[in-house]
Amino acid sequence: MVPVTLARVVRICALLTVVLVAAVLLALRLGAVPFSLTDLGQNLWWLASGRPERLSTDFRLIMVDIRLPRILLGILVGAALSVAGASFQALLRNPLADPYVLGVSNGAALGAIVALLIAPALPLMTPLAAFLGATTTISAVYLLGRREGQLDSNTLLLAGIITASFLSAIIMFLMTTLASRDLRGIAFWLMGDLSTALPRGLLWVLVVGFLSATGAIYTTASDLNLLLAGEREAMHLGVDVTRVKLVVYISASLLTGLAVSVSGAIGYVGLLVPHLMRMLFGTDYRLLIPTSALGGAIVLVLADAMARTVVAPTELPVGAMTAMAGAPFFIYLLRRRLP
Amino acid sequence: MTNKGKTCWAAAGRMRSIALSLGLLALILALAGAGAAAAQSASPSANRSSALAVTDEEGRAVQVPQPVRRIVSLAPNLTEIVFALGLGDRLVGDTDYCNYPPEALKKVHVGGPVNPSLETIVALHPDLVLATRTINRLATVQALERLGVAVYATDPHTIEQVLSSNEQLGRLLGASQQGATLAAGLRERLSRLQLRLSGSQPLSVLFITWVDPLISVGRNTFIADALRMGGARSVIATAQDWPNISLEEVVHQQPEYLIFSSDQPEQTEHQIAELRGRAGWQDLEALRHNRIVILSEAFSRPAPRLVDTIEQLARALHPDRFAAAHSAMPPFAASHAPMLSLAAGAL
């Protein structure tokens, strides 16, 4: 296997960044309202060179106020979900772990819904409640997935699936019994949705949260490599297993909570992307975390561009797009693991 | 990897990740800054001479620019109201489901009411977007608001609120006179209907919003009120607006009539034929004796045509009340006839 060197990480990340920029440009081009390439290029140049006063009104309204923030949101959510997926996979030593499959997304969704029902006016309540929902769920799944003191891969997966369906049942119960203010909104949001322009302040919370949580996970990258061989082995090699697990748990739950609170339960990104990156660039977490972040951003930006355009002007929930691609991939991984 | 190498790598990695974060941060800052600057220079309503400050039916404060020249409607009933006010030419966009009047089909569609394209709406440069709480998402309304588009949302729960909503929209859109005349005419027809029905017992009915799963209407919906005005009483009286109900409860209540509202009556008849073969449904007296009324989709739209369908319902349920006045002609004019089947001697 090619050794992971700093130069290699930088090279691969640069390559993926180029792909991401191309995906962003493509996503900017696609949409319900068409813009010609020359129009797009000209206006983008004005925007980049700090002359926004020259922008056409339509470009300003549609590109700057709607499409671009939405793409930025897609980048952040995709990156957050992928890094969370990669982290859970190491933490639980299970390649099929993903915030959605493990029920963590549903836990975050439940938290967010409770917050929406109790205090719809407080903006920061929703991400916070989603974070609490995510941490509680992952703890429960972790405890349920242990057998005789050891994490068992299959038990864990089943525990996640059962927890997910239990949580969806609670969500359904809340949605049918409480005369909710915005039932349709919640139903649509549950399927995963990037369509609603967020307040700019919330985008900042997301950026800061993403950078700090990913940074925290990255500091444990070498330890995660060792942890993959087994907790006892890692401990013998001098890894502070308790600290690493705590840091990664909290950070990955934070990432999931943030992503779910702004975009609902978008499935399979956290599963699909880290695996693709492993296939392409190897399993070393020092490389896997940054490539997963970039890969997740690329995948979600493209998936959302498709969700916007397939039946335009009507919008598909982006979660439907990712599930359509991700579920067959999950089956493939599951089959491949069998002897 | 040696220990030394590892430390080295970690230090370099930390530096690189910091550099990466800073780079990303700078990029996002630049874009957000540019966006903010652009937003400031935009201020779409700055050159407006005046704006009407109102509170909409969801309780949101809205500045409606005056005059309103370009309207986007996000629900079929609002599209109907705009046309009924004689302002069809100012409607620049509506939804995929806006099918009445036929001119509505020719407008630019902004998508479905639940998931419209914000881009398409904004590109139409509307002075005012009309939304309705039961159909549109709050998230859509809030997003448009943030984009500087004025949104007025209606939320009628009674027939009187449907009518006053009409009047209010007339005022906002610069057609107060038409709005007032329209509402007065509809009120007059409804009071005549009440006079005609006075003294007759309301019949118990089940209004079927959806068959699978079975969804009816709660007591605080305009449909429940429309049923009351049409001489009916819903057997379902939940506080929830669109309750999932159990067939057992319906069989227990044995409503005298089943009421459907559909834009495709043939399909609904097929569905009813299919229901006759189902366990549970077979035990419904109303279904066994064919006491079913199929009203047009206008009955589930809080718009002026609702009053037509209330009259149709009253005629279907209480034909004796109309017999004297219309003895010379069949009780239903062809164009407005509800698809209905009445068992002989059902009343």
The torsion defined by the Cα of B116, B119, B123 and B124, in degrees rounded to 10, comes to 10
DSSP assigned state of A27: H
Residue-level pLDDT at B342? 37
| Residues 223-252 in B contacting A (C-alpha not used; CB under 8 Å) | 239-241, 244
Mutation target vs A (from B58, B117, B221; most A CBs, 10 A cutoff)? B117
ipTM: 0.74
Tell me the two tokens of residue A230: 């087994």
The band of B343, judged by pLDDT with boundaries at 50, 70 and 90, is very low
Tell me whether B35 touches chain A (CB under 8 Å): yes
Instruction: For chain A, say whether B27 makes contact (Cβ under 8 Å).
Output: no
Residue A3 lies in a domain: no
Q: Which of B5, B12, B133, B11 is nearest to B75 (CA)?
A: B133
Contact A66 B142 (CB under 8 A): no
Domain CATH number, residue A234: 1.10.3470.10
More confidently predicted of B49 and A220: A220
CA angle at residue B140 from B138 to B145, to 5 degrees?
Answer: 95
With residues binned 3-state (H G I as helix, E B as strand, rest as coil), the percentages for chain B, rounded to 5, are 50, 15, 35
- In a domain, residue A190? The reply is yes
* Residue A50 covered by a domain: no
Rounded to whole angstroms, how far apart are CA atoms B215 and B211?
7
Sign of CA dihedral B73, B76, B78, B79: positive
Asked if the C-beta of A14 comes within 8 angstroms of chain B's C-beta atoms, the answer is no
Angle at alpha carbon of residue A304, lines to B44 and B32, rounded to 5°: 45
Q: What is the pTM of this model?
A: 0.76
- Is A55 near chain B, with CB under 8 Å? yes
Residue B192 forms contact with A (CB below 8 Å): no
* A21 band by pLDDT with thresholds 50, 70 and 90: very high
What is the CATH superfamily name and number for domain B199-342?
A: Nitrogenase molybdenum iron protein domain (3.40.50.1980)
Q: What residues 263-322 of chain A have any CB closer than 8 A to a CB of chain B?
A: 286, 290, 308, 312-317
Which residue range(s) make up the domain with A74? 69-337
Could you report the per-residue pLDDT of A115-169, keeping only the tens digit for each?
Answer: 877 776 666 777 788 888 988 998 888 888 887 777 777 788 888 889 999 998 9
Domain count, chain A: 1
Contacts of B124 (CB under 8 A, 6+ apart): B70, B72, B92, B93, B108, B110
CB A106 within 8 A of CB A141: no
* A46 part of a folded domain: no
Q: pLDDT at position A116, please?
A: 77
CATH entry, B3-7+25-155, from 2.60.120.10, 3.40.50.1980, 3.10.20.30, 3.50.50.60: 3.40.50.1980
Binned at pLDDT 50, 70 and 90, residue A181 comes out as low
Closest alpha carbon within chain A to B240: A179
- Say whether A57 and B112 touch across the interface (CB within 8 A): no
Q: Does B12 touch chain A (CB under 8 A)?
A: yes
Helix (H) / strand (E) containing A147: strand A146-147
Q: What is the mean pLDDT of residues B249-253?
A: 90
Taking an 8 Å cut-off on Cβ atoms, the answer to whether B111 and A184 are in contact is no
CA A143 to chain centroid: 23
- Percent of chain A scored above 70 by pLDDT? 94
For residue B244, list chain A residues with Cβ-Cβ distance below 8 A: 176
Facing A31 at nearest CB: one of B44, B119, B137: B119
In B89-202, which ranges are E strands?
Answer: 91-94, 108-109, 128-132, 151-154
Q: CB-based contacts of B72: which residues, under 8 Å, 6+ apart?
A: B91, B92, B93, B94, B110, B121, B124, B126, B128, B129, B130
- Asked whether residue A22 is assigned to any structural domain, the reply reads no
pLDDT at B114: 85
The DSSP symbol for A64 reads I
- Please, what is the average pLDDT of chain B? 82
Listed in order, the ranges of chain B carrying CATH 3.40.50.1980 are: 3-7+25-155, 199-342
Distances (CA, A) of B143 to A195, B140, B214, B321: 9, 5, 33, 50
Give the tens place of pLDDT for each residue, B100-147. 899 999 999 998 888 888 989 999 999 999 999 888 888 889 889 988
Answer whether residue A109 shows pLDDT above 80: yes
Residue A89 placed within a domain: yes
> Considering the domain boundaries, does residue A23 fall inside one?
no
SS3 B337: coil
Identify which of A72, A199, A290 has the shortest CB distance to residue B28. A72
Distances (CA, A) of B269 to A250, B11, B264, B273: 56, 74, 9, 6
pLDDT (mean) for A165-177: 85
- Crossing angle for the helix pair B159-172 and B176-197, to the nearest 10 degrees: 170
pLDDT above 80 (res B10): no
The enclosing H or E element of A141 equals helix A125-144
Q: How many CB pairs under 8 A join A and B?
A: 145
Q: Tokens representing A106?
A: 């549903």
The whole-number pLDDT of residue A32 equals 77
> Is-contact A277 A288, C-beta < 8 A?
yes
The minimal CB distance from A313 to the residues B12, B42, B117 is found for B117
Does A229 map to a domain?
A: yes
CB contact under 8 A, B119 and A47: no
